[in-house]
Amino acid sequence: KLDFPWQFEIQRMHRKGRNEYIEVELPMPTKEELTGKSEMPQICRITCSPLDSRAPEQYMFIPDWMMKSLRLKPRDIVKLRYKNMPQSTGCVHLQAHSESAATSHAVLEEELRHYSSLTAGTTISFFFDSSGVIDKKSSKKNKKVGSKREVKINVVQCLDSGGTPLESVCIQDSDIGTEWLVPLDKIKKKKQT
C-alpha cells in the first residue's frame, strides 16, 4: 500500500547493453560544492509527486528543471520507484540567482507551496510578473516576456530537524524552515570589486 502523499524517486539509468541498463550512482553533493553555483552539478536522482497520470504507457512528463538536474534528454530511460519520505521539520537552504528575486521571499515561499519535495542540487525555475503573479506557462525560450521574468532558485541543502544533511525532503503539509543564502549575482558583484 502506498501512503499519501505519493512521493516517487526518479533515477537516471545508463545503457550498458542492448536491453541492459544500470543505475547511475553519484555521491550527494555537499553544501560547499553547491553554494554559489549558477550551474548545479549532475545528480543521479530526484524526488517528486505526480500531478496526473495521462502520459502514455511507459512514458512520463517531467518539468524542464528536473530534466536539466538529471541531465536527461527526451526518451531517456529512468527508473521510477515509490519513496516513503517522512514529513520534514528541518530546514532547506535556498539560493536565488538574482538579488531582485531574493527580495521577494514571500513570493518565493508561496511558489514552494506547489512542490511536494525538494532535492539538494536542483535548480527550480518559474516565471512571475512584477505584481508577483506566478506563471508556469510562459515561454521557456524567452527569459523575459513582457513584464514576466524567469526566477531560478538553487536548492543548496536539505536538513532534518537534527541538522543532518539529507538528499531530499518532503515539504508537503510540513512546517519546514527556509534559509536564504546570498544571491548569486550579489556574490558575483563582490568578486568584481
Task: State pLDDT tens for residues 44-89.
Answer: 899 888 766 777 888 888 888 889 889 999 989 899 998 887 777 7
User: What is the C-alpha to C-alpha distance for residues 22 and 79, in angstroms, rounded to an integer?
Assistant: 10
pTM of the model: 0.77
Residue 49: which residues within 8 A CB-CB, separation 6 or more?
5, 6, 7, 8, 116, 117, 172
User: What is the C-alpha to C-alpha distance for residues 160 and 89, in angstroms, rounded to an integer?
Assistant: 7
Task: State pLDDT tens for residues 154-186.
Answer: 999 999 888 899 998 888 877 888 888 888 888
Task: State pLDDT tens for residues 122-137.
Answer: 988 887 765 554 455 4
190 versus 30: the higher-pLDDT residue is 30
* 102 φ, ψ (degrees, to nearest 5): -70, -25
